[in-house]
Amino acid sequence: MNLIQRLWKFISDQGIESADSIMVHARIRTLNRTAAIVIGMLLFYALINVFQGEVFIASSQLVLLIMVIVAIAINHFGMYHTALIFFMATLNLSILSQCWLLGAPSGNHYYFLLAALFPILATDRKDIISGLFILSGGLFIFTLVYLFEFTNPMFYVSYGSIFRIGNIIAVIVLLYLGLQHFKIQSVTYQQWMKEKSMAVQLQSNELEGQRDQLLELNEELKQQNDKIQQHRMRLEKSFWDIQMLSEIGKNITSKLSIPEIIDAIYEDLSLVMSVEVFILGIWDRRQEHLQVTELHRGIEKRYDNYTRDEEETFGVFAFNTMQHYVLNDFEVEAPEHNPAWRPMGEKLPAAAIYVPLMVNEEPFGMLSVSSPEKNVYSDHHLNILQNLAVFITNALENARIYSQLEVQKSEIERQNKDITDSITYASRIQKAVLDSSESILSQFEDAFIFYQPRDIVSGDFYWFHRREHRRYVVVADCTGHGVAGAFLTIMGVDFLNEIVIADPEHKQPHQILEELNDKFLWMTYRQANKSITDGMDVAVLVFDEEEQQVEFAGAKNNMWYVRDEEIHQVRGNHFSIGRGGPDLHTQFTSVTIPCQAGDRFY
């Protein structure tokens, strides 16, 4: 019995591991068990036929038996539907073949093959299975009716009682198996439905949990999105504030006077906050008082000075503490911060902000805005004023420096005017010292003087004197220009007057230069400052009408003359007047040139 049970279980479990549900599991078992019963019946019939000597019939039954075994083998490899169709086709083939071989009287003993379809139909009620069952029943009835009178079958057997008994037993077993499996199928179906329902409920719970998670995630995403939007709005607002502060700062720092700065601050602040009165206080270190300017509605200005002791004024208190204050209910909050505060003026502000001004961590002043409405100021407005405080202190410092520069500029312009006037007057004196060009030009048939000072006064001069038949011409270029050069020209003219005019004796050009050099050195070196190095380059010409000649001597100055359309150069000495020490007597050289008609001297 144990062997039969193990064999029965072995056959029943073929292909069971491929079942993906409890329903398929039951169908595979039903197919295997039905096939096992059919195999047993075919084997039983084959043995009887062998015993009766009907080898051919037994062989056909063994072939059908093998085909049923093949169906089980197909099921073993997990191809349930293929095995099912192959098994049912084998049953139909068995019915037809047995009726054809044995005839209707004997073939009807095999209706157990038709009964074998019942367990299959009980577990797998698909259309194709029902159709095959109807087909098998129709074929079986057809064979019984049509072949009932067939009297010459290929083989005829007379031991039908044995087959009938076996057939009845097989049908009873198959019907019992079908009913059992139908019950199992019902229970299995209910269990499957329960499991399915539980799976659906579990899946529904999972979906509900996932939905809750999605809702939570969606809420988190919404919160994150709100935070991102708020952060973006803060960034945009910060960017706008920075841009606005930059524009206001540029406008304020471009002003170079305190009244202009106050007007610009009021105008710009009125665009971003409520401002009825703007107050700017600047600490005067010398006077030790707070210079306060009040601008009412951008039109009326008031000016007051306060000492540090006047803390009944809230602005002075804010300056002394160097702290900021935001008062959105001024009359209530002011005495809370400053017990010394007393109402002053005709009208108190409803709200106000006070911000200290500092330069290098030193008190510089304070600024304040006020409004006739309560609760209009926030930390945002305070931040704007605190950031603007840097621009305002820079602008005020620039205005102070600019004011000082304007004062210095005015003083410099005044001094420059005085100096210019003095130099202009000196220029008139210098021109008075020099001989007029008209008086000199009148002494020659054809002559010109090119004299153009670089500055108001000149460091160059010309000098002329006529004595009897001699005409003395001197051209000098002082090494200094401007005022210094002008003084040298006056000295040079004065020395030449002493050397040539005051002394009636005729002096040659080189003698004039030597005496001029001596006087110049004596004048400069007798001063305490021995570092005077200025001098002059001088050319001296003496025209002698009797001798018809020109005498020339030069101190680092040359002379050119044109004769017969040819230019001739006469070089002077290579040192200037005023070079050397007082003990060094510098000697110059004179050159005499005979004159011809048409000679031109430069």
300-347 pLDDT, tens digit each: 677 778 888 888 888 888 888 888 888 888 888 888 888 888 887 667
Q: Judge whether residue 192 has pLDDT over 60.
A: no
Q: What is the mean pLDDT of residues 385-393?
A: 79
Cβ–Cβ under 8 Å, residues 24 and 126:
no
- pLDDT interval class at 507 (50, 70, 90): confident
398 & 455 share domain:
no
488 & 596 share domain:
yes
Q: Is 583 left (phi over 0), alpha (psi -120 to 50) or beta?
A: alpha
Which of residues 105 and 63 earns the better pLDDT score? 63
Domain annotation covers residue 259? yes
Q: Determine which of 36-45, 95-104, 550-559, 584-593 has the lowest per-residue pLDDT on average.
A: 95-104
Q: Judge whether residue 175 has pLDDT over 60.
A: no
Q: Judge whether residue 552 has pLDDT over 90.
A: yes
Q: Which of 88-97, 168-177, 179-188, 296-305 tops mean pLDDT?
A: 296-305
- What does the mean pLDDT of the chain come to? 74
Q: Judge whether residue 362 has pLDDT over 70.
A: yes
pLDDT number for residue 274? 80
Cβ–Cβ under 8 Å, residues 540 and 572:
no
pLDDT number for residue 127? 45
195 & 117 share domain:
yes
pLDDT number for residue 527? 59
Domain annotation covers residue 217? no
Alpha-carbon distances, residue 521 vs 156, 167, 475, 487, 530 (angstroms) = 176, 167, 19, 15, 11
Q: Which of 441, 459, 473, 470 is nearest to 561 (CA)?
A: 473
Give the amino acid at 244: M
346 & 469 share domain:
no
- pLDDT interval class at 403 (50, 70, 90): confident
Domain annotation covers residue 564? yes
341 & 483 share domain:
no
Q: Tell me, what CATH number does 299's domain have?
A: 3.30.450.40
337 & 472 share domain:
no
- Hey, which residues does 568 pair with through a beta bridge? 561
Domain annotation covers residue 240? no
Domain annotation covers residue 285? yes
384 & 450 share domain:
no
- pLDDT interval class at 58 (50, 70, 90): confident
Q: Tell me, what CATH number does 471's domain have?
A: 3.60.40.10
- pLDDT interval class at 180 (50, 70, 90): low
Q: Is 482 left (phi over 0), alpha (psi -120 to 50) or beta?
A: left
Q: What is the mean pLDDT of residues 151-178?
A: 46
Cβ–Cβ under 8 Å, residues 478 and 489:
yes
Task: Give the predicted TM-score (pTM) of the model.
Answer: 0.44
Q: What is the mean pLDDT of residues 352-373?
A: 84
Q: Determine which of 100-109, 142-151, 221-230, 352-361 has the lowest per-residue pLDDT on average.
A: 142-151
- Residue tagged 């009040």 (tokens): 294
Domain annotation covers residue 223? no
The percent of residues above 90 in pLDDT, for the chain, comes to 1
Q: Which of 96-105, 121-130, 368-377, 582-591 tops mean pLDDT?
A: 368-377
Per-position DSSP letters for 465-520, written without gaps between them: EEETTEEEEEEEEES--HHHHHHHHHHHHHHHIIIIIS--S---HHHHHHHHHHHH
pLDDT in tens, 193-207: 676 677 677 777 777
- pLDDT interval class at 232 (50, 70, 90): confident
Q: Judge whether residue 159 has pLDDT over 50.
A: no
Q: Is 71 left (phi over 0), alpha (psi -120 to 50) or beta?
A: alpha
- pLDDT interval class at 551 (50, 70, 90): very high
Q: Judge whether residue 599 has pLDDT over 80.
A: yes
135 & 282 share domain:
no
Q: Determine which of 80-89, 156-165, 282-291, 493-502 has the lowest per-residue pLDDT on average.
A: 156-165
The percent of residues above 70 in pLDDT, for the chain, comes to 67
Q: Judge whether residue 375 has pLDDT over 60.
A: yes
- CA–CA gap between residue 594 and residue 368 (Å, rounded): 94
33 & 147 share domain:
yes
Q: Which of 573, 600, 598, 567 is nearest to 588 (CA)?
A: 573
Q: Which of 155-164, 352-361, 400-409, 528-537 tops mean pLDDT?
A: 352-361
pLDDT in tens, 80-136: 667 666 666 666 666 666 665 665 455 555 555 555 555 555 555 454 444 555 555
165 & 259 share domain:
no
Q: Judge whether residue 569 has pLDDT over 80.
A: yes
- pLDDT interval class at 528 (50, 70, 90): very low
Which of residues 18 and 36 earns the better pLDDT score? 36
Q: What is the mean pLDDT of residues 514-530?
A: 73
Domain annotation covers residue 211? no
Q: Look at residues 166, 201, 236 and tell me which one is the last residue of a structural domain.
A: 201
283 & 155 share domain:
no
462 & 367 share domain:
no
Question: Which structural domain range is residue 308 located in?
Answer: 254-405
pLDDT in tens, 464-501: 888 888 888 898 888 766 676 777 777 888 888 888 88
Domain annotation covers residue 210? no
> What total number of domains does the chain contain?
3
